[in-house]
């Protein structure tokens, strides 16, 4: 009798274990079984500001393609690429996702992205410069999504109070510096500007404006120690030293964007993707934007994202259909009209400008001819992640700008040697 | 983690006279142990073996291992950042241990017979212990804010210009460590109060009769008789501090200039394993931390003989 | 040592104590009252230190960013901004979905831990079987291993099971624990053997004895383990952060980390979001505080 009962217990225990595992497995397969005709594509991105536009695009696509469902997944900030890399390594990447030039080369070169034969994508509809950002080794791996440049946002109330004239698109470094000086009011805790430690929005721009660069022409070595490059960095450290910008520690406690939105900073350098949050901020009624000031020459970082398909997607046909749609004029127009980013498709840029009648956002588009693409190597993130730590010491005055630049140059050269490119 | 294990193990299950054969016991043991043991092998033992193996390999940005022998361990020995992380972890542990005497004093104050509002105090003091570290980190980050944080506002009232607590490499570690200690006090108070209940009131009555004051009673009676509980809290505090991650991840984060001076070994491990996808080196770091955990615990148990008195 | 103290204490100095208390009862009472005031002062200070930050959190969560960053600061929100809660819930991080995930994963992890640990603990404490000591040594060997160090292989495991980015992935590893087995083994070992033996004489099987007699007796231990598991599961950041990719399949601690990367220094919104994340557990705790505190105390005494 006892034995039989034992067996029953064994059976019950085994069943319990099996059911947990089975239930678990069953759960995983929903959405990935292509056989039934119903397909769910995951579309991963990092900017929640763009979520409404992306969901609108997904809805438009679903309407045209019954049976395919698009699940928009947002992982904000830096965590996006941390998680993406882990997922790609595990062969578990989202079906379609965004990449930016900093990560694109590494993903393309390591076979994480599905190459496009060009059948579904008409590259002639996009600016060559943006198409090249989605190419690696002569092959196309995605569709241009958008592009962005940088502008100077300023608080008109603070300018009026300090009696400073509003910036014009042809202004110079000297104009910017003198405005920053006059706008700074230590008694009221107001800073002329914020030297944010952000390569794309601040110091890369001034490096190229000064005539410097980060990499040499064939990307085999760093040029961080060039006098012009150092001058581009000193542009910012001088502002900190003179007290026209909050210190790096103050900016760690309160971001420049939040200081600008509470009227404590008069001018911030912001990418075009930040226009939407600025247009909804508490200071929205008394701010405007101008082109970046010119140094030895005019320059702005220009950057573009690509929509790409994972090499390991279980639904290649559906994913490519969606990719084609993302590169269509209709989808790109939705992006522009939402005001979130400047669409890449030729002729749709105006829809973005028109979304902001109140502001001089045309300045972003006008700067395109002087645009400089982000400096990239085979594994850009490998060295770029060290920039804040190394340059932060110069911002804080702990090391000289020359020393920090030399250390960056070494970091980049080491990375190029290690990653063979 | 056991303190009283010695006392509990002392009584082995009695082989009952009337028990039927042991064979049935074995069958039942199999059934009862199956789920937990499958879990043990699946989620602990196999991963530990896998981690050990990977610590001898180097991985590419998207996986794939190559056997590189002791390379990771060689790199580890000469890694100044890892050394700093170990030093940081040591400091966190030392500061967190300050919470043990604080918990004991608070518990003694609360355990006094006839003390009023004990329930309210205990509930308030235990709040941090049920709050997730991620939320604790966010709240304290705000309290530590240079310009608008309550701490610096308070300091300004007495004429002190407070530092940038969380981004100044000189203060960031202490600030984070204080939060870690803060979060553990409530748990300590509850455990200590339970321990105090097992001390016979006779000791105190006798001491009072002898004319010993409260301080004297505390050191002559409470501390020695509480030494098993104090030891338990010490071991627990050390183990949990060695695993500190959430506070660093949320309060400091990857772009804070004070990160090198504040990150723990576990955070360093996470950076290498998941941010940089360098699993081989990450595994080697994991094993070095494991070695330290085992070593520290062994030392603690060896030392306990000197100062812990079991009744 | 203890015996001697106890035995001689009540006798010898008794007279002197009686003598002293007779001498000045008023002074003694005043001293007691003074020391009581001092003790309460310390306790209030400690309570303020330990619970005060939560008050400030609630107040800040209702201010506008401008008000929160005004000097000198305001104590009470001048114009309560309930919108901060809306922003934290709908500002790009799916906190509502994460709340559901947190509840589900906490409940299931806790059931798993309590059940599986109790089963194994009973076997270790009361049954005799070959290999018991070896197996128990294996359990002990991982007692001190910080589970976080095993993240990467555990992730691979989920990949093998095809569970990455699913709810079961959040739950499965957390259902098993060595500490719980250890804790409950102490419990079972300390229970009286009489009932068990009586039942056995009546012909009850081991399974029946475990389920109907021993489990109810061990209830305080199960509750203690359950509470510890609830707190741990609810607050766990690292595992969900690593194992899942879709934010809608993550839990609240990850949500807070994400919220912070979206609103790095918008403290009112961050305070609101973190309050949403901690409130459920705080409500449970305050509602059943007596049982929670007893359970925690028990885990310390037995662990």
* DSSP secondary structure, A191-251, as one string: EEE-----IIIIIHHHHHHTT--SB-TTSSSB-TTSHHHHHHHHHHHHHHHTTSS--HHHH
Please report residues of A whose CB lies closer than 8 A to that of C172: 20, 24
Please report residues of B whose CB lies closer than 8 A to that of A112: 62
Selection from B75, B50, B77 nearest residue B65 by Cα? B50
Q: Are A24 and C163 in contact (CB < 8 Å)?
A: yes
What are the tokens at B46?
Answer: 């196999």
**Average pLDDT taken over every residue of chain B:** 87
Q: Are A25 and C163 in contact (CB < 8 Å)?
A: yes
Q: Which residues of chain C have a Cβ shorter than 8 Å from any chain A Cβ?
A: 64-66, 69, 71, 91-93, 155-156, 159, 161-169, 172, 205, 207, 241-242, 245-248, 257-258, 261-262, 264-266
Higher local confidence (pLDDT), B11 or A98: A98
Task: Select from C172, C245, C264 the Cβ nearest to the Cβ of A94.
Answer: C245
pLDDT at A24: 40
Distance CA C35, CA A102 (A): 66
Distance CA B130, CA C118 (A): 24
Please report residues of A whose CB lies closer than 8 A to that of C67: none
User: What percent of chain A has a predicted confidence (pLDDT) above 90?
Assistant: 72
pLDDT band per the 50, 70, 90 thresholds, residue A370:
very high
pLDDT band per the 50, 70, 90 thresholds, residue A342:
very high
Q: Is B254 on the interface with A (CB under 8 A)?
A: yes
Say whether pLDDT at A378 is over 50: yes
Selection from C208, B77, B37, C72 nearest residue A189 by Cα? C72
Question: Rounded to an integer, what is the distance from CA A393 to the centroid of its chain?
Answer: 24
pLDDT at B185: 95
pLDDT at A90: 84
pLDDT digits (tens, 9 = 90+) for A81-92: 888 988 888 888
Phi, psi of B175 (to 5 degrees): -60, -50
3-state SS record for chain C? CHHHHHHHCCCCCHHHHHHHHHHCHHHHHHHHHHHHHHHHHHHHHHHHHHHHHHHHHHHHHCCCHHHHCCCCCCCCCCCCCCHHHHHHHHCCCCHHHHHHHHHHHHHHHHHHHHHHHHHHHHHHHHCCCCCHHHHHHHHHHCCCCCHHHHHHHHHHHHHHCCCCCCHHHHHCHHHCCHHHHHHHHHHHHHCCCHHHHHHHHCCCCHHHHHHHHHHHHCHHHHHHHHHHHHHHHHHCCHHHHHHCCCHHHCCHHHHHHHHHHHCCCCHHHHHHHHHHHHHHHHHHHHHCHHHHHHHHHHHHHHC
Say whether pLDDT at C128 is over 50: yes
Looking at residues C233-240, what average pLDDT do you find? 93
Q: Are B27 and A3 in contact (CB < 8 Å)?
A: yes
pLDDT at B11: 44
Question: Is residue A141 within 8 Å of A114, Cβ to Cβ?
Answer: yes
Selection from C170, B311, C214 nearest residue A24 by Cα? C170
Question: Is residue A389 within 8 Å of B259, Cβ to Cβ?
Answer: yes
Distance CA A18, CA B228 (A): 43
Task: Select from B4, B13, B134 the Cβ nearest to the Cβ of C128.
Answer: B13
Min mean pLDDT across A301-315, A399-413, B271-285 is at B271-285
Name residue, tokens 């994913």: A319
Question: Rounded to an integer, what is the distance from CA A61 to the centroid of its chain?
Answer: 24
pLDDT at C294: 85
pLDDT digits (tens, 9 = 90+) for B16-36: 444 444 556 788 889 999 999
pLDDT at B249: 93
- Strand bridging mode A68-74 / A39-45: parallel
Give residues with Cβ within 8 angstroms of C61, minimum separation 6. C84, C85, C268, C271, C272, C275
Which residue is closest to C140 within chain B, CA to CA? B1
Q: Number of A to B CB contacts under 8 A, please give it.
A: 80
* Paired residues of A306 in beta bridges: A99, A144
pLDDT band per the 50, 70, 90 thresholds, residue A285:
very high
Question: Rounded to an integer, what is the distance from CA A329 to the centroid of its chain?
Answer: 22
The kind and range of the H/E element at A2 are helix A2-29
Please report residues of C whose CB lies closer than 8 A to that of B214: 35
3-state SS record for chain B? CCCCHHHHHCCCCCCCCCCCCHHHHHHHHHHHHHHHHHHHHHHHHHHHHHHHHHCCEEEECCEEEEECCCHHHHHHHCCHHHHHHHHHHHHHHHHHHCHHHHHHHHHHHHHCCCCCCHHHHHHHHHHHHHCCHHHHHHHHHHHCCCCCCHHHHHHHHCCCCCCCCCCCCCCHHHHHHHHHHHHHHHHHHHHHHHHHHCCCHHHHHHHHHCCCCHHHHHHHHHHHHCHHHHHHHHHHHHHHHHCCCHHHHHHHCCCCCCHHHHCCHHHHHHHHHHHCCCHHHHHHHHHHHHHHHHHHHHHHHHHHHHHCCCC
pLDDT at B213: 83
pLDDT band per the 50, 70, 90 thresholds, residue C25:
low
Q: For chain C, list the contacting chains (3+ Cβ pairs, <8 Å).
A: A, B
Q: Are C150 and B43 in contact (CB < 8 Å)?
A: yes
Q: Are A83 and C245 in contact (CB < 8 Å)?
A: yes
Task: Select from A6, A189, A252 the Cβ nearest to the Cβ of B256.
Answer: A252
Distance CA B280, CA A116 (A): 33
pLDDT band per the 50, 70, 90 thresholds, residue C21:
very low
**Would you mind telling me the total number of residues written for chain A in this entry?**
421
pLDDT band per the 50, 70, 90 thresholds, residue A23:
very low
Distance CA A327, CA A332 (A): 7
Domain spanning B91-259: which superfamily?
MetI-like (1.10.3720.10)
* Rg of chain B over all Cα atoms, to the nearest angstrom: 24
**Alpha-carbon dihedral C89, C95, C96, C102, rounded to 10 degrees:** -150
* DSSP secondary structure, A37-100, as one string: S-EEEEEEES-GGGHHHHHHHHHHHHHHSTTEEEEEEE--TTHHHHHHHHHHHTT---SEEEE-
Distance CA A263, CA C70 (A): 11
| A22 C-beta neighbours (distance < 10 Å), count | 11
Say whether pLDDT at A33 is over 50: no
pLDDT at A385: 86
Please report residues of C whose CB lies closer than 8 A to that of A155: none
What are the tokens at B310?
Answer: 């079991």
Q: What angle do CA B190, B191, B194 make, to 5 degrees?
A: 90
Q: Is A9 on the interface with C (CB under 8 A)?
A: yes
Give residues with Cβ within 8 angstroms of C200, minimum separation 6. B16, B18, B19, B20, C209
Please report residues of C whose CB lies closer than 8 A to that of A197: none
Distance CA B155, CA B152 (A): 5
Distance CA C206, CA C218 (A): 16
How far does the CA of residue C238 sit from the closest CA of chain A (Å)?
12
Q: Are A6 and B166 in contact (CB < 8 Å)?
A: no
Selection from B261, B87, B90 nearest residue B172 by Cα? B261
Q: Are C64 and A282 in contact (CB < 8 Å)?
A: yes
Q: Give me the CATH topology for the region C86-302.
A: MetI-like fold (1.10.3720)
Looking at residues A195-201, what average pLDDT do you find? 95
pLDDT at C76: 93
Q: Are C297 and B8 in contact (CB < 8 Å)?
A: no
pLDDT at B275: 84
**Average pLDDT taken over every residue of chain C:** 86
- Secondary structure class of A318 (helix, strand, coil): helix
Selection from A338, A371, A343 nearest residue A356 by Cα? A338
What are the tokens at A217?
Answer: 């022409």
pLDDT at B38: 94
Best mutation target among C127, C134, C190, C262 (most B Cβ atoms within 10 Å) is: C127
Please report residues of B whose CB lies closer than 8 A to that of C195: none
Q: For chain A, list the contacting chains (3+ Cβ pairs, <8 Å).
A: B, C
Which residue is closest to A5 within chain B, CA to CA? B28
How far does the CA of residue A51 sit from the closest CA of chain C (Å)?
8
Q: Dmax over Cα atoms in chain B, in whole Å?
A: 79
Domain ranges for chain B: 91-259
Q: Are A20 and C172 in contact (CB < 8 Å)?
A: yes
Distance CA C93, CA C91 (A): 6
Task: Select from C150, C157, C193 the Cβ nearest to the Cβ of B14.
Answer: C193
Distance CA A318, CA A311 (A): 13
Say whether pLDDT at B148 is over 80: yes
The kind and range of the H/E element at A142 are strand A142-148
Question: Is residue B94 within 8 Å of B210, Cβ to Cβ?
Answer: no
- Strand bridging mode A135-136 / A265-271: unpaired
pLDDT digits (tens, 9 = 90+) for B174-226: 999 999 999 999 999 999 998 898 888 888 888 888 888 888 888 988 999 89
Looking at residues B5-9, what average pLDDT do you find? 38
Selection from B185, B137, B131 nearest residue C46 by Cα? B185
Please report residues of B whose CB lies closer than 8 A to that of A14: 34
pLDDT at B61: 73
Q: What angle do CA A335, A339, A340 make, to 5 degrees?
A: 70
Looking at residues A65-72, what average pLDDT do you find? 94
pLDDT digits (tens, 9 = 90+) for A243-259: 999 999 899 888 999 99
Please report residues of B whose CB lies closer than 8 A to that of C60: 142
What are the tokens at B228?
Answer: 């098993």
Q: Are B24 and A6 in contact (CB < 8 Å)?
A: yes
Task: Select from A2, A110, A382 the Cβ nearest to the Cβ of B24.
Answer: A2
Looking at residues C196-215, what average pLDDT do you find? 88
Please report residues of B whose CB lies closer than 8 A to that of C182: 1-2
Task: Select from B20, B232, B289 the Cβ nearest to the Cβ of C300.
Answer: B232
Please report residues of C whose CB lies closer than 8 A to that of B22: 128-129
pLDDT digits (tens, 9 = 90+) for A142-170: 999 999 999 999 999 999 999 999 999 99
* Paired residues of A323 in beta bridges: none
Selection from C9, C71, C251 nearest residue B211 by Cα? C9
Q: Are B32 and C189 in contact (CB < 8 Å)?
A: no
Give residues with Cβ within 8 angstroms of B21, minimum separation 6. none
Please report residues of A whose CB lies closer than 8 A to that of C166: 24, 27-28
Phi, psi of A146 (to 5 degrees): -160, 180
pLDDT at A8: 47
pLDDT at C301: 66
Q: Is B166 on the interface with A (CB under 8 A)?
A: yes
Please report residues of C whose CB lies closer than 8 A to that of A94: 245
**Would you mind telling me the total number of residues written for chain B in this entry?**
311
Task: Select from A2, A6, A262 the Cβ nearest to the Cβ of C65.
Answer: A262
pLDDT at A410: 96
Which residue is closest to A263 within chain C, CA to CA? C66
Domain ranges for chain C: 2-47, 86-302
Which residue is closest to B286 within chain C, CA to CA? C149
């Amino acid at each position: 009798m006892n034995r039989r009962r034992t067996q029953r217990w064994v059976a019950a225990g085994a069943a319990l274990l099996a059911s947990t595992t089975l239930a678990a497995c069953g759960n995983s397969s929903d959405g990935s079984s292509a056989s039934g005709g119903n397909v769910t594509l995951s579309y991963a991105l990092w900017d929640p500001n763009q979520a409404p536009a992306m969901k609108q695009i997904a809805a438009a696509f679903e309407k045209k393609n019954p049976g395919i469902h698009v699940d928009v997944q947002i992982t904000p900030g830096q965590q996006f690429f941390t998680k993406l890399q882990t997922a790609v390594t595990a062969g578990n990447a989202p079906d379609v996702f965004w990449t930016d030039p900093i990560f694109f080369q590494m993903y393309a070169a390591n076979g994480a992205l599905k190459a496009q034969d060009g059948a579904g994508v008409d590259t002639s509809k996009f600016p060559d410069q943006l198409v090249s950002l989605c190419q690696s080794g002569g092959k196309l791996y995605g569709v241009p999504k958008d592009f962005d440049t940088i502008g100077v946002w300023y608080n008109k109330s603070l300018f009026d109070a300090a009696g400073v004239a509003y910036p014009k698109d042809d202004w110079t470094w000297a104009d910017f510096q003198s405005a920053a000086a006059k706008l700074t009011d230590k008694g009221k805790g107001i800073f002329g500007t914020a030297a944010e430690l952000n390569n794309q929005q601040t110091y890369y721009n001034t490096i190229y404006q000064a005539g410097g660069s980060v990499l040499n022409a064939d990307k085999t070595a760093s040029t961080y120690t060039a006098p012009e490059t150092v001058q581009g960095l000193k542009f910012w450290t001088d502002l900190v030293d003179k007290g026209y910008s909050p210190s790096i520690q103050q900016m760690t406690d309160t971001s420049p964007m939040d200081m600008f939105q509470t009227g404590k900073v008069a001018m911030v350098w912001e990418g075009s993707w930040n226009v939407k949050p600025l247009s909804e901020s508490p200071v929205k009624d008394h701010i405007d934007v101008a082109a970046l000031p010119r140094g030895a020459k005019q320059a702005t970082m220009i950057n573009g994202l690509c929509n790409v398909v994972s090499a390991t997607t279980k639904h290649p046909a559906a994913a490519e259909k969606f990719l084609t749609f993302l590169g269509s004029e209709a989808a790109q127009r939705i992006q522009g009209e939402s005001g979130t980013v400047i669409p890449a498709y030729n002729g749709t840029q105006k829809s973005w400008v028109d979304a902001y009648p109140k502001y001089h956002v045309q300045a972003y588009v006008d700067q395109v001819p002087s645009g400089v693409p982000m400096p990239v190597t085979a594994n850009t993130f490998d060295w770029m992640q060290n920039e804040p730590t190394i340059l932060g010491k110069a911002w804080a005055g702990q090391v000289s700008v020359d020393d920090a630049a030399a250390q960056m140059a070494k970091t980049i050269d080491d990375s190029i040697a290690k990653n063979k490119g | 983690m056991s303190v009283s294990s010695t006392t509990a193990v002392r009584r082995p299950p009695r082989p009952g006279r009337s028990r039927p054969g042991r064979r049935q016991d074995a069958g039942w043991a199999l059934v009862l142990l199956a789920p937990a043991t499958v879990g043990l092998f699946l989620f602990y033992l196999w991963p530990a073996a896998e981690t050990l193996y990977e610590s001898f390999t180097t991985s590419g940005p998207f996986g794939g291992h190559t056997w590189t022998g002791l390379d990771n361990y060689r790199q580890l020995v000469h890694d100044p950042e890892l050394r700093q992380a170990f030093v940081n972890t040591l400091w966190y542990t030392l500061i967190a241990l300050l919470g043990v005497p604080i918990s004991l004093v608070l518990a003694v104050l609360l355990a006094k017979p006839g003390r009023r509002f004990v329930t309210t105090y205990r509930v308030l003091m235990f709040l941090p212990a049920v709050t997730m570290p991620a939320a604790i980190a966010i709240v304290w980050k705000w309290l530590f804010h240079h310009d608008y944080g309550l701490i610096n506002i308070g300091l300004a009232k007495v004429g002190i210009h407070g530092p940038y607590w969380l981004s100044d490499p000189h203060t960031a570690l202490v600030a984070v460590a204080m939060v870690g200690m803060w979060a553990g006090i409530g748990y300590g108070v509850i455990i200590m109060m339970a321990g105090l209940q097992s001390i016979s009131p006779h000791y105190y009555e006798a001491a009072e009769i002898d004319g010993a004051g409260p301080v004297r009673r505390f050191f002559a009676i409470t501390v020695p008789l509480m030494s098993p509980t104090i030891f338990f809290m010490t071991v627990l505090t050390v183990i949990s501090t060695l695993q500190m991650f959430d506070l660093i991840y949320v309060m400091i984060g990857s772009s804070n200039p004070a990160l090198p001076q504040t990150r723990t070994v576990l955070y360093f491990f996470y950076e290498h394993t998941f941010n940089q996808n360098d699993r081989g080196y990450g595994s080697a770091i994991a094993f070095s931390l494991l070695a330290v955990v085992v070593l520290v615990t062994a030392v603690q148990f060896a030392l306990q003989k000197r100062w812990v008195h079991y009744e | 040592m203890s015996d001697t103290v106890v035995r001689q204490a009540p006798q010898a100095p008794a007279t002197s104590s009686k003598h002293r208390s007779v001498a000045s009862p008023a002074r003694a009472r005043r001293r007691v009252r003074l020391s009581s005031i001092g003790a309460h002062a310390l306790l209030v200070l400690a309570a303020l230190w330990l619970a005060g930050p939560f008050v400030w959190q609630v107040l800040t969560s209702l201010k506008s960013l401008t008000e929160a960053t005004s000097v000198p600061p305001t104590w009470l929100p001048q114009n309560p901004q309930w919108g901060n809660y809306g922003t934290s819930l709908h500002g790009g991080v799916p906190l509502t979905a994460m709340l559901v995930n947190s509840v589900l994963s906490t409940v299931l992890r806790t059931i798993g831990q309590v059940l599986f640990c109790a089963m194994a603990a009973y076997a270790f404490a009361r049954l005799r079987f070959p290999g018991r000591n070896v197996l128990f040594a294996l359990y002990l060997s991982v007692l001190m291993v910080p589970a976080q160090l095993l993240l990467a292989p555990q992730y691979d495991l989920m990949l093998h099971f095809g569970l990455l980015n699913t709810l079961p992935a959040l739950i499965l590893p957390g259902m098993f624990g060595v500490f719980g087995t250890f804790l409950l083994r102490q419990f079972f070992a300390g229970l009286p053997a009489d009932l068990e033996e009586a039942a056995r004489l009546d012909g009850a099987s081991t399974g029946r004895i475990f389920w109907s007699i021993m489990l109810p007796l061990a209830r305080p231990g199960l509750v203690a383990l359950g509470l510890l598991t609830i707190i741990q599961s609810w607050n766990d950041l690292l595992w969900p952060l690593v194992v899942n990719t879709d934010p809608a399949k993550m839990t609240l601690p990850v949500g807070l980390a994400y919220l912070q990367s979206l609103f790095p220094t918008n403290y009112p919104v961050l305070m609101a979001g973190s309050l949403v994340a901690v409130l459920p557990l705080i409500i449970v705790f305050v509602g059943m505080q007596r049982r929670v505190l007893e359970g925690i105390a028990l885990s310390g005494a037995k662990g």
